[in-house]
Structure 1
Amino acid sequence: MNVALLSRWHVHANDYVREVLEHEQLTIGAVWDEEVDRGKAWADELGVPFEKDLGVILSNPDIDAVVVSTPTNLHKEIILAAAEKKKHIFTEKVLAFTNEDCEEIYNVVEKHGVELMVSLPRLTEKEFYYAEKALKENWLGTLTMVRCRLAHNGAVVPEGGTQGWLPDRFFNKEQAGGGSLIDLGAHPIYLTNRLAGTPNTVFSRLQQGANSEVDESAAVIVEYESGVLGVLETSFLSHGSPFQLELYGTEGTLLCVDGEIRMKSIHHGHGKWFVLDEKVPSVPKPLEQWVAKIKSGIEPTITKTDVINLTKINDAAALSNFEGCRVTLSS
Structure 2
Amino acid sequence: MIKFGIVGMGLRGKLFADTILQSHYAELAAVSDAFAASLEAAVERYGVPGYADAAEMMAKEKLDAVVVATPDFLHKEPVIAAARHGLHIMVEKPFSTSVEEALEMEEAVRAAGVKCLIAFENRWSAPFVNVKHAVKSGEVGRVLAINSRLNDTIFVPTKMLKWSQGSSPGWFLLSHSTDMACYLKEQKPVRVYAVGTKQKLAAMGIDTYDSLQTIVTFEDGTHAAFTTSWILPESMPLIVDFKYEIIGEDGALYVDLHDQMVHQAGAVYKHVPTLGTPVNGRLLGPPSHMLHAFIDNIRLDTEPLAGPEEGVINTRLVDAIHRSAECGAPIELA
TM-score range, shorter chain: 0.7 to 0.9
Partner SS state of residue 292, structure 2: helix
Q: How many residues align?
A: 298
Q: Provide the TM-score with structure 2 as the length reference.
A: 0.81
Preserved contact between residue 182 and residue 314 of structure 1 (Cα < 8 Å): yes
Quote the RMSD (CA, aligned, Å).
Answer: 2.5
TM-superposed deviation, 1:320: 0.5
Counterpart of 2:6, as a letter, is: L
State the AA in 1 paired with 2:171. Answer: I
> In the alignment, what sits opposite 1:256?
255
Match of 1:324 in 2: 328
Counterpart-to-counterpart distance in 2, 1:227 and 1:50: 50
What's the CA shift string for 1:81-119, capped at 9, x where partnerless? 111111221111111123332222122112222221111
| Conservation of the 8 A alpha-carbon contact between 2:169 and 2:210 | yes
**1:142-181 residue CA offsets vs partner (Å, 9 max, x unmatched):** 422101222221438xxxxxx8542332x232xxxx2112
Q: Do 2:55 and 2:78's aligned partners in 1 also have CA atoms closer than 8 Å? A: no
Any residues of structure 2 matched to 1:173-212 within 5 Å, and which? 173=166, 178-196=167-185, 197-208=187-198, 209=201, 210-211=203-204, 212=206
In 1, Cα distance between equivalents of 2:259 and 2:143: 21
Paired position in structure 2 for 1:289: 293
1:113–1:139 Cα change, 3 Å: closer
Contact 2:116–2:304 (Cα < 8 Å) also in 1: no
- Does the Cα contact within 8 Å between 1:153 and 1:164 map onto a contact in 2? no
**Alpha-carbon distance in structure 2 between the residues aligned to 1:86 and 1:164:** 37
Contact 1:155 1:164 in 2 (8 A): yes
Match runs of 1:94-105 below 5 Å: 94-105=94-105
CA distance in 1, matches of 2:137, 2:58: 47
SS of the residue aligned with 1:152?
strand
Q: Distance in 2 between matches of 1:140 and 1:44?
A: 51
Residue 259 of structure 1 and its aligned partner are, at CA, apart by 8.2
5 Å-filtered alignment, 1:194-273, equals 194-196=183-185, 197-208=187-198, 209=201, 210-211=203-204, 212-238=206-232, 239-240=236-237, 242-258=241-257
| Code of the aligned partner of 1:195 | L
In 1, the alpha carbon distance for the partners of 2:154 and 2:322 equals 21
CA distance in 2, matches of 1:130, 1:39: 38
Please say which of residues 221-230 and 205-214 is displaced more in the overlay: 205-214
Letter of the structure 1 residue corresponding to residue 165 of structure 2: N
**What are structure 1's unaligned runs of at least 5 residues?**
157-162, 262-282
Instruction: From the superposition, tell whether residues 67 and 141 of structure 1 become closer, same or farther in structure 2 (CA, over 3 Å).
Output: closer
Deviation for aligned residue 1:223? 0.8
Task: Tell me the SS of whatever aligns to 2:155.
Answer: coil
Q: What's the secondary structure of 2:321's corresponding residue? A: helix
Distance in 2 (CA, whole Å) between partners of 1:136 and 1:308 is 23
Counterpart of 1:224, as a letter, is: F
Question: Matched residues in 1 for 2:215 and 2:48: separation?
Answer: 46
The one-letter code of the counterpart of 1:189 is T
- Relative distance call for 1:119 and 1:287 in structure 2 (3 A) is same
- Seen in structure 2, the aligned counterparts of structure 1 residues 133 and 70 have a Cα distance that, compared at 3 Å, is closer
Inter-partner Cα distance in structure 1 for 2:107 and 2:89: 14
SS of the equivalent of 1:70 reads coil
Residue 45 of structure 2 corresponds to 45
Which whole-Å CA distance do the structure 2 matches of 1:88 and 1:107 have between them?
Answer: 14
TM-score by length of 1: 0.82
Query: What is residue 272 of structure 1 aligned with on the other side?
Result: none
Greater CA drift, 89-98 or 318-327: 89-98
Alpha-carbon shift at residue 324 of structure 1 (Å): 0.9
Distance 1:26 1:145 in 2: 41
> Contact between 2:97 and 2:315, CA under 8 Å: does it hold in 1?
yes
Q: C-alpha distance in 2, partners of 1:249/1:56? A: 50
Residues 50 and 61 (structure 1 numbering): CA distance in 2 closer, same or farther, change over 3 Å? closer
Give % identity.
Answer: 23
Aligned to 1:274: none
The aligned residue for residue 270 of structure 1 is none
1:5 alignment counterpart:
6
After superposition, the Cα gap between the structure-2 partners of 1:297 and 1:311, relative to the gap in structure 1 and judged at 3 Å, is: same
